[in-house]
Structure 1
Amino acid sequence: MTNSVQGIYNYTVIFEKEPDGGYHAFCPVLKGCHSQGDNFEEALVNITEAMELYIDSLLADQEPIPEENLIIA
């Protein structure tokens, strides 16, 4: 995969262990950006790729890149 994302973006990612095995991962700031994996490492690789593709599509459509705004209390 050729990565056209330029710059460094830092976002919070939530990982949820699934009851039947594997992990679900999502980035709350990037609405609808979800992925999964059979283990944590695979979920991390998959959500990273999903986030790169998400940001690539925003850049291609000349849409603004969301800023991290998550508050955990």
Structure 2
Amino acid sequence: MPILVEIDEDGLYIVCCPLLEGCHSWGETVDEAMKKISEVIEMCLEETKIEDLNTFVGFRVLEVVSNAKASCD
């Protein structure tokens, strides 16, 4: 299953499985986060029918350039 791994502002690893709605966890290391998400996936799969899974298409990177000017009034 695809797993998305991010680092939050506190340095924690946030992980989620986009195939399963609400399937996310965290850890202080990538290994800890992956172990926890594995447990969450098992729980989610117990309550999810195969036909209810989201369809994984892939990940893309999108560069966004902002032309907005900040106002400090």
- TM-score normalised by the chain length of structure 1: 0.69
Would you identify which runs of 4 or more consecutive aligned residues in structure 1 move more than 4 Å?
Answer: none
Alignment map for 1:1-73 (pairs within 5 Å): 11-58=1-48, 63-64=49-50, 66=53, 68-73=55-60
How many pairs were matched up?
A: 59
- Show structure 2 runs of 5+ residues with no match: 61-73
The alignment-based identity, stated in percent, is 29
**Bigger RCO (CA 8 Å, 6+ sep):** 1
Larger Rg: 2
- Show structure 1 runs of 5+ residues with no match: 1-10
